[in-house]
Amino acid sequence: MTLIVHLSDTHFGTEIPAVVDALRNIVSARKPDLIIVSGDITQRARRAEFDAAKRFFQSLPPPLLVIPGNHDIPLFDLLARGLFPYRNYCAALGRQSGTWFGGDVAVFGFNSTSPLRHTRGKLSPAHFKATLKEAPPESPRNCIRIACVHQPLHTAWMQDAHNRLIDVEATAEQFSRHDFDLVLSGHVHVPYIATTRESFPALNRHFILSGAGTATSYRTRPGAPNSFNFIETGSNGEDAEVDITLCRFDEEKSEFLENPPYRFRRVQDGWKEIPPDISQVAAPG
Ligand SMILES: [Fe+2]
Ligand SMILES: [Fe+2]
């Protein structure tokens, strides 16, 4: 079993101190095997914002895997955007992509951003080739393959569809073909957890999509408070399960509260959601 914390869109520069403290408390108490942050670490890619983010990440239990979002490239400083777009990011956080192999998972971080695009993200076949070069030699069937990319393949709300990755159908096909089990994302500040069975019905092999909301920023959307996800994997050869628990910030209690988990199981053509066991739910008195 591996326990992963998936944070996204921390947007340091717009963070809420009480939410940052509550997040540190719940994450530290659970002692995860890995923390993944799927981009938009800062609001404007300023050095002071990256320094604040770094201090926060250093206060959490390691290890940490981080990728950039569109906000992690300078927007107004055109010289920096053109000549050294990732300078502040790299100075604070290191590589813009990376991998982590441990427990029963293999995690691959993809950098979908570019200073040539404003907010949109793209993954080319070259991204897959370069990132998968770092894969361990054993078969992907023996572990759970997780990808992390800032922009999503699918969104909860129709009005966010233009924020999906460019060439979204072809990119979903690439993830399926390379045997990915779970694709993590952020960007739209609205969580979305489901398999690809409805969003990409034509795929030969289905995988899980898990988009996280903004973990710490006041830039929330109506009806979508600050949130993050716990991901628990259990894999034994062909048999594999993933539980994803969305944790949302409760302003009154000033702490993160856990929703009931989404549960998924690997079957012959990929992944399917296991419906909640309603026999466990108490009947109203
Ligand atoms: Fe964002
Ligand atoms: Fe973004």
How many independent structural domains does the chain possess? 1
Distance 85 CA to ligand 2 centre (A): 15
Distance 189 CA to ligand 1 centre (A): 6
| Beta carbons of 184 and 144 less than 8 angstroms apart | no
pLDDT score of 281 more than 90 = no
Q: Of the ligands numbered here, which is closest to the C-alpha atom of 221?
A: 1
pLDDT score of 78 more than 80 = yes
Domain membership of residue 233 as a residue range: 2-275
The pLDDT value given to residue 125: 92
Distance 123 CA to ligand 1 centre (A): 18
Distance 89 CA to ligand 2 centre (A): 15
Q: Give the type of residue at 169.
A: E
Q: Of the ligands numbered here, which is closest to the C-alpha atom of 219?
A: 1
Residue 213 lies in a domain: yes
Residue 226 lies in a domain: yes
Tens digit of each residue's pLDDT (9 = 90 or more) over 205-259:
999 999 999 999 999 999 999 999 999 999 876 789 999 999 999 999 999 999 9
Residue 137 — very low, low, confident or very high, per pLDDT cuts 50/70/90?
A: low
CATH for 67: 3.60.21.10
Residue 280 lies in a domain: no
Tokens of 55: 């201090």
Residue 183 lies in a domain: yes
Residue 215 lies in a domain: yes
Q: Of the ligands numbered here, which is closest to the C-alpha atom of 121?
A: 2
Distance 238 CA to ligand 2 centre (A): 35
Mean pLDDT of all residues belonging to the chain: 93
**Cα 148 to Cα 77, 79, 186, 253, distances in angstroms:** 28, 29, 9, 31
Q: What is the dihedral of CA 129, 134, 136, 142, to 10 degrees?
A: -50
Q: What is the dihedral of CA 119, 120, 124, 129, to 10 degrees?
A: 50
Question: Of 65, 156, 170, 77, nearest to 111 (Cα)?
Answer: 65
Q: Of the ligands numbered here, which is closest to the C-alpha atom of 152?
A: 2
pLDDT score of 282 more than 60 = no
At which residue do the structure tokens 């995690």 appear?
A: 107
What totals of helices (H) and strands (E) does the chain contain, helices first? 6, 14
Question: Of 121, 141, 53, nearest to 90 (Cα)?
Answer: 53
Distance 109 CA to ligand 2 centre (A): 15
pLDDT score of 141 more than 80 = no
Distance 13 CA to ligand 2 centre (A): 14
Distance 176 CA to ligand 2 centre (A): 24
Residue 90 lies in a domain: yes
Share of the chain above pLDDT 90, in %: 84
| Beta carbons of 2 and 233 less than 8 angstroms apart | yes
For 26, phi then psi, to 5°, come to: -70, -40
Distance between CA 283 and CA 262 in Å, rounded? 21
Distance 164 CA to ligand 1 centre (A): 13
Instruction: Give the residues across from 257 on adjacent strands.
Output: 248
Residue 58 lies in a domain: yes
Residue 282 lies in a domain: no
Tens digit of each residue's pLDDT (9 = 90 or more) over 25-55:
999 999 999 999 999 999 999 999 999 999 9
Residues around ion ligand 2, judged by CB within 5 A, are: 40, 69-70, 187
Q: Give the mean pLDDT of 53-79.
A: 95
Distance 92 CA to ligand 1 centre (A): 19
Beta-carbon contacts of 70 under 8 Å, excluding residues fewer than 6 positions away, are 39, 40, 113, 117, 118, 119, 120, 121, 150, 151, 187
Distance 62 CA to ligand 2 centre (A): 24
Distance 276 CA to ligand 2 centre (A): 32
Q: Give the mean pLDDT of 114-132.
A: 92
pLDDT score of 284 more than 80 = no
